[in-house]
Chain A
Amino acid sequence: MPRIGVFICHCGVNIAQNVNVEEVKRYAERLKDVVVSRDYKYLCSNTGCGIIKEAIKEYKLDGVVVAACSPRMHEHTFQRVAEESGLNKYKVEVANIREQCSWVHSSRDEATSKAKTLVRMAVAKARLAEDLKPARIKITREALVIGGGVAGIQSALDLANEGFKVHLVEREPSIGGRMAQLDKTFPTLDCASCILTPKMMEAANHPNIDLLVYSEVESVKGSVGDYTVRVKKKPRYVDPGKCTGCGDCASACRLKNKVKNEFDLGLGRRGAVYVPFPQAVPLKYVIDDKTCLYLTKGRCGDEPLCMKACKQGAIDFKQKEEIVDLRVGVIIVATGYDLIDKVGLYELGYGRSPDVITTLEFERLINSSGPTRGEVLRPSNNEKPGSITFILCAGSRDKRLCEWCCRVGCMTALKQVYLIREKLGDTVEVNVCYTDIRSYGKGYEEFYRRIRGVDNVNMFRGRPSEVRVKPDGLIVNVFDTLSDKLFEIKTDLVVLVPAIVPSTGTLDAARTLRLSRSNDGFLMEAHPKLRPMDSFLSGVFIAGCCQGPKDIQDTVAHASGAASRAAWILSSDTLEALPYTAVVNEDLCSGCKTCLLVCPYQAIETVMKDNKLRARVNSTLCQGCGCCVVACPAKAIYQLGFKDEQIKPMITGLKEE
């Protein structure tokens, strides 16, 4: 026989003003299985809690109903009270007679009657409440960070500094990502490498960070607190233990300056043995197995020149790929972004003329450590451009291509205008065709004003329809909506500010980890406002541009946020799983896998039992949403704490009077 106590809160006048608490208390007393009914002004206070505690002891209660404010406010408070009194905390049922009753009705009679109904329903559920013992997950106190750009580096450093071991996996031979490709950053015009390299060095030298470059995550199994990750280390054919980064091999390489350099987006050249850029971290050479003569054809002249040149004997063509298995408790995905594919920019000349380039390519050209040592020359004839025209929103804010705004385009263009004036002198004419200038951040509007003050810069508010490629130059027609005039711009170099899309690494991570993606293709956050670094999978966090395009300061903030969220899990020994998980009655399950398909958290797997396929819920992954319960055609799944037998009396309880 259940022994239930009902406690009704006045909540000052919030409830008492519209609900006759005294009447509800007397009503509750008379309900079946209710042995005590109390009321108090503020049940959440120490005194209020004390009343509940005493009643539990005195009346030997095994179920508690609190009629008060929303459970989102104080359910945990009353659950703690129950626990401290030796009662299982899931035996507490909260009836919301404030937000859902007192605050939304003006008639005292109606509100009081409704409060009685709500209490009656809560008691009906409390009668059937069960002791629930949520599982405890043992946490492996190590983290995996996928992606070694500024986001990944920041997250890794934050976690490492908190004392956790971090495995940082990067698919390129060096960490640094996109930020390493930039020249200066807006709005302060800091040199990107100068501020990034110290962080890169810190990450490489940190005792808690295990740097795995030129590696990829192959598979991830398990759940929060206990992931098994398989990492494939690609063979670099150079022994990192012996390589000193001296560069003798690269100077000797037979293919020196013949292979397009990825870091310079094809504008620069390297050999088959290379480091991506001079400030690479780690500064160890790598041999590209797609171009190296020895690796592709089996021989390189009489003998590989790199081997001959290397005084440390670090070249090792026998190197094989290595598999590393890691156990980690949390994963942070920081896989970054790419630029829109050139097919989308065809009418703007990209791909038709070598003199139409993207902002990222321009950044490599104007960078003094770039492929042209900071000289900006027209790719078509290697001459200095007399006129450079920027076209913003190339592919962005476009329903046919990328519907979203790239966020950083306007500031990037303005910054590059500044760099042109600073490095190429006053005579280069600069034209900017924009739709809106989005200078929203700290210092951004001031920077925009600074650029408006730069000489010989024409700002056109209009979007060109096409770039015409003539033998002697490029022609851009733009209608300036502010002056209502059509301008014809004869220009030498067109720089497109391209749309930003999720990188292939992001798509790979989404597939490997089965992460949801938003409409725009970027990784989906659990809540756009309140949980921007959480993915829908507990234990997996997202940092930086893989979640959506953003500038460096937002990326760093995002990454630190993700690290902090991850640390919350890592700093406990164990984690309490949700008690309200779904459970499959394997005898009723037919193995149809409908539940598998509807589960948003991939928490259901299939097992063979008695030669038949059955579904099984992983209670550490299950978030208690109830989708599978509803979807199961055989009604073989129930949810702890919300079983049909517990819900039905609540519904019938509505009618009773």
Chain B
Amino acid sequence: MSKRYALYPGCLASTEQYAYELSVREVSSFFNIELVNLDDFSCCGEPIKSINQLLTLYLSARNISIAEKSNLDVYAPCAMCHLALSEAAFILDSDNDLRCRVNKVLSSEGLEYHYKHKSRILHTVDVLYDDIGLEKLKNSVRKPLTGLKVAAHYGCHLIRPSEIGRPDNPENPSKIESIIQVTGAEPVYYPERLDCCGAPLLPTRQESALTKTGEKLQALHEGAVDVLVDVCPWCHKMFDEQQVKAKETVAGGFNIPVLYLTQLVGLALGLKHDRLGLDLNQSPVEKVISKVK
């Protein structure tokens, strides 16, 4: 039962957050999932939605069309890309006129967005929870992460706005905790669970973005959590790469390991650390690795 997806890592994962792409590829290959490179993808457009939303719609539609042309589902591990693609599909499916206008321009690139696109648009949570499934995940665990207290950061774009269809429930999401549980670790719930990481403010208000990151990390630190997992390269960039700056901004006292969910799952599967990109994380991940025997 081998699956094939077109891997759409998005700009940030493919040019900077390499650990995500690495761990995604590693975990996928473990489960015999083939990730195809369709070498024509572009930015999803979400980072410049504030400049021109129609351009964003076009770019996302373009990416969906590329995958559809190759008859493949799109696996977008970045939550921001996943939202962009899902929202573009939602809007273009409901407005004939807009779809025609977009298709007219797409045709100049030899592409077409089909009404109710056949390609599914998947995120890491969809792949792990639905396509692979908890049962299979559980049975594949070689190194149970017993005793590890793991907090999940869902982020905003993964679960909202629910009316266009998102991978998990907007007020009470639970899929990541379920996945954490089957790795043998202990999922930790905390009051700030649904707070934003602050990343969208990076272009205009860096300090405010870092304040948001810092406040959330501070709340976690106070809750005695071993590791924070996330499912989006933007969120990860804030919590992992920018953790030190965030700490300075809010004068915090935290030093929390931050892993991609795929890295955590990879650890439980017994996969090689360098293949999971663990030496690229800036946060103190050695604290976690030492706990995994």
Complex A–B touching at CB under 8 A: yes
Enumerate chain A interface residues (CB-CB to B < 8 A): 346-347, 466, 468-470, 475
- Give complex CA distance A347, B171 in Å: 6
**Contact status B171-A346, CB under 8 Å:** yes
9 closest A-B pairs by beta carbon, nearest first, are: A346-B171, A347-B171, A468-B191, A470-B191, A469-B191, A346-B172, A468-B192, A466-B194, A475-B191
> How many whole Å from A356's CB to the nearest CB in chain B?
13
- Give complex CA distance A151, B172 in Å: 38
Q: Is the interface of A mostly helix, strand, loop or mixed?
A: strand
In the complex, per-residue mask of B166-195: 1 if CB is within 8 Å of any chain A CB, else 0: 000001100000000000000000011010
Task: Return chain B residues, CB-CB under 8 Å to A475.
Answer: 191
- Give complex CA distance A475, B194 in Å: 15
Task: Return chain B residues, CB-CB under 8 Å to A347.
Answer: 171
Task: Return chain B residues, CB-CB under 8 Å to A468.
Answer: 191-192
Task: Return chain A residues, CB-CB under 8 Å to B191.
Answer: 468-470, 475
Task: Return chain A residues, CB-CB under 8 Å to B171.
Answer: 346-347
- Give complex CA distance A466, B192 in Å: 11
- Give complex CA distance A346, B171 in Å: 7
> How many whole Å from A349's CB to the nearest CB in chain B?
10
- Give complex CA distance A633, B192 in Å: 63
- Give complex CA distance A372, B171 in Å: 32
Contacting residues of chain B (121-172) with chain A, CB-CB under 8 angstroms: 171-172
Q: What are 9 A-B contacts defined by CB distance under 8 Å?
A: A346-B171, A346-B172, A347-B171, A466-B194, A468-B191, A468-B192, A469-B191, A470-B191, A475-B191
CB closest chain-A residue, reference B192: A468
- Give complex CA distance A346, B194 in Å: 13
- Give complex CA distance A288, B192 in Å: 42
- Give complex CA distance A468, B191 in Å: 6
Task: Return chain A residues, CB-CB under 8 Å to B192.
Answer: 468
Besides A466-B194, A468-B191, 4 new A-B residue pairs in contact (Cβ under 8 A), listed by A number:
A346-B171, A347-B171, A468-B192, A470-B191
- Give complex CA distance A469, B223 in Å: 13
> How many whole Å from B220's CB to the nearest CB in chain A?
13
- Give complex CA distance A469, B191 in Å: 6
- Give complex CA distance A641, B44 in Å: 68
CB closest chain-B residue, reference A469: B191
Task: Return chain B residues, CB-CB under 8 Å to A469.
Answer: 191
> How many whole Å from B160's CB to the nearest CB in chain A?
12
- Give complex CA distance A347, B194 in Å: 10
> How many whole Å from B211's CB to the nearest CB in chain A?
16
> How many whole Å from A476's CB to the nearest CB in chain B?
12
CB closest chain-B residue, reference A400: B163
> How many whole Å from B164's CB to the nearest CB in chain A?
14
> How many whole Å from B125's CB to the nearest CB in chain A?
20
- Give complex CA distance A440, B194 in Å: 39
- Give complex CA distance A466, B191 in Å: 11
- Give complex CA distance A470, B191 in Å: 6
- Give complex CA distance A40, B171 in Å: 75
- Give complex CA distance A71, B36 in Å: 78
Task: Return chain B residues, CB-CB under 8 Å to A470.
Answer: 191
- Give complex CA distance A347, B172 in Å: 8
- Give complex CA distance A475, B191 in Å: 10
Contacting residues of chain B (79-129) with chain A, CB-CB under 8 angstroms: none
CB closest chain-A residue, reference B163: A400
Task: Return chain A residues, CB-CB under 8 Å to B194.
Answer: 466
CB closest chain-B residue, reference A345: B171
- Give complex CA distance A469, B171 in Å: 14
> How many whole Å from B259's CB to the nearest CB in chain A?
26
CB closest chain-A residue, reference B195: A468
Task: Return chain A residues, CB-CB under 8 Å to B172.
Answer: 346
> How many whole Å from A222's CB to the nearest CB in chain B?
46
CB closest chain-B residue, reference A346: B171
- Give complex CA distance A473, B234 in Å: 32
> How many whole Å from B289's CB to the nearest CB in chain A?
30
In the complex, per-residue mask of B190-234: 1 if CB is within 8 Å of any chain A CB, else 0: 011010000000000000000000000000000000000000000
> How many whole Å from B131's CB to the nearest CB in chain A?
27
CB closest chain-A residue, reference B169: A346
> How many whole Å from A604's CB to the nearest CB in chain B?
40
- Give complex CA distance A466, B193 in Å: 12
CB closest chain-B residue, reference A466: B194
- Give complex CA distance A470, B193 in Å: 12
> How many whole Å from A390's CB to the nearest CB in chain B?
21
Task: Return chain B residues, CB-CB under 8 Å to A346.
Answer: 171-172
> How many whole Å from A472's CB to the nearest CB in chain B?
11
CB closest chain-B residue, reference A470: B191
> How many whole Å from B173's CB to the nearest CB in chain A?
11
- Give complex CA distance A475, B171 in Å: 17
- Give complex CA distance A308, B194 in Å: 56
> How many whole Å from A474's CB to the nearest CB in chain B?
10
- Give complex CA distance A470, B192 in Å: 9
> How many whole Å from B216's CB to the nearest CB in chain A?
13
- Give complex CA distance A469, B192 in Å: 9
> How many whole Å from A548's CB to the nearest CB in chain B?
28
Task: Return chain B residues, CB-CB under 8 Å to A466.
Answer: 194
> How many whole Å from A473's CB to the nearest CB in chain B?
11
> How many whole Å from A185's CB to the nearest CB in chain B?
34
> How many whole Å from B156's CB to the nearest CB in chain A?
14
B171, B172, B192, B194: residue with the most chain A Cβ atoms closer than 10 Å: B171
- Give complex CA distance A346, B172 in Å: 8
> How many whole Å from B104's CB to the nearest CB in chain A?
35
> How many whole Å from B208's CB to the nearest CB in chain A?
16
- Give complex CA distance A466, B172 in Å: 12
- Give complex CA distance A346, B169 in Å: 11
Contacting residues of chain B (274-292) with chain A, CB-CB under 8 angstroms: none
- Give complex CA distance A468, B171 in Å: 12
In the complex, per-residue mask of B39-62: 1 if CB is within 8 Å of any chain A CB, else 0: 000000000000000000000000
> How many whole Å from B221's CB to the nearest CB in chain A?
15
> How many whole Å from A488's CB to the nearest CB in chain B?
14
CB closest chain-A residue, reference B219: A470
> How many whole Å from A628's CB to the nearest CB in chain B?
38
> How many whole Å from A275's CB to the nearest CB in chain B?
38
CB closest chain-B residue, reference A351: B172
- Give complex CA distance A24, B171 in Å: 74
> How many whole Å from B91's CB to the nearest CB in chain A?
20
- Give complex CA distance A454, B194 in Å: 37
CB closest chain-B residue, reference A467: B191
B172, B191, B192, B194: residue with the most chain A Cβ atoms closer than 10 Å: B191
- Give complex CA distance A468, B215 in Å: 15
- Give complex CA distance A324, B51 in Å: 72
- Give complex CA distance A181, B192 in Å: 36
- Give complex CA distance A468, B190 in Å: 10
CB closest chain-B residue, reference A474: B191
> How many whole Å from A342's CB to the nearest CB in chain B?
11
> How many whole Å from B287's CB to the nearest CB in chain A?
24
> How many whole Å from A78's CB to the nearest CB in chain B?
57
> How many whole Å from B159's CB to the nearest CB in chain A?
12
- Give complex CA distance A468, B193 in Å: 10
> How many whole Å from A200's CB to the nearest CB in chain B?
41
- Give complex CA distance A347, B191 in Å: 11
> How many whole Å from B251's CB to the nearest CB in chain A?
20
CB closest chain-A residue, reference B162: A400
- Give complex CA distance A347, B160 in Å: 14
CB closest chain-B residue, reference A347: B171
> How many whole Å from B197's CB to the nearest CB in chain A?
17
> How many whole Å from B57's CB to the nearest CB in chain A?
25
CB closest chain-B residue, reference A352: B172
> How many whole Å from A439's CB to the nearest CB in chain B?
32
> How many whole Å from B241's CB to the nearest CB in chain A?
28
CB closest chain-A residue, reference B194: A466
In the complex, per-residue mask of B248-262: 1 if CB is within 8 Å of any chain A CB, else 0: 000000000000000
- Give complex CA distance A469, B194 in Å: 12
> How many whole Å from A211's CB to the nearest CB in chain B?
44
> How many whole Å from A403's CB to the nearest CB in chain B?
16
> How many whole Å from B195's CB to the nearest CB in chain A?
10
> How many whole Å from A420's CB to the nearest CB in chain B?
26
> How many whole Å from B256's CB to the nearest CB in chain A?
19
> How many whole Å from A347's CB to the nearest CB in chain B?
5
